Amino acid sequence: MKMKKSEVKPFKEALLLLRARLRGDVHTLANAALSSSTVNVSAVPSHIADLGSDTFELDNTLQLITNEGETLEQIEGALERIESGDYGICVECSGKIPKMRLQVIPYTPYCVKCAAQIQEEER
């Protein structure tokens, strides 16, 4: 089951923000900050706020990041999957990635099961 465009949108916005932060793209961040104080912009921050602050914290997500280069690659991959309509589907088993997981790690290409397996193999 593919996600609807409207469902994917907040994740796409979160990914773009994350990517900007990782790249140290101050300009993009400044724009995002500005748009939160204006009313008629297509409001990135309000969508992120809609996800609920307890499940979606960019700062917490960033704390999970150990390898920024790898994370950037995963973000790029996730954005590609959004474009191709495959976002939210595990690249390993084609299973659905739970939304709760995507809210914590929006760039993950794997479901919980496959991610655990891959971590296991990498050890």
Q: Which residues bind Zn ion (CB under 5 A)?
A: 90, 92-93, 95, 111, 114
State the minimum distance, in angstroms, from the CB of residue 92 to Zn ion.
4
Fill in the amino acid letter for 103.
Answer: Q
**Count helices and strands in the chain by DSSP H and E runs:** 7, 0
By C-beta, is 85 or 95 nearer to Zn ion? 95
H/E stretch holding 119 reads: helix 112-122
Q: Which residues, at least 6 apart from 19, have a Cβ–Cβ distance to it below 8 Å?
A: 25, 72, 75, 76, 79
By C-beta, is 22 or 114 nearer to Zn ion? 114
Fill in the amino acid letter for 68.
Answer: E
State the minimum distance, in angstroms, from the CB of residue 117 to Zn ion.
8
State the minimum distance, in angstroms, from the CB of residue 67 to Zn ion.
21
By C-beta, is 15 or 111 nearer to Zn ion? 111
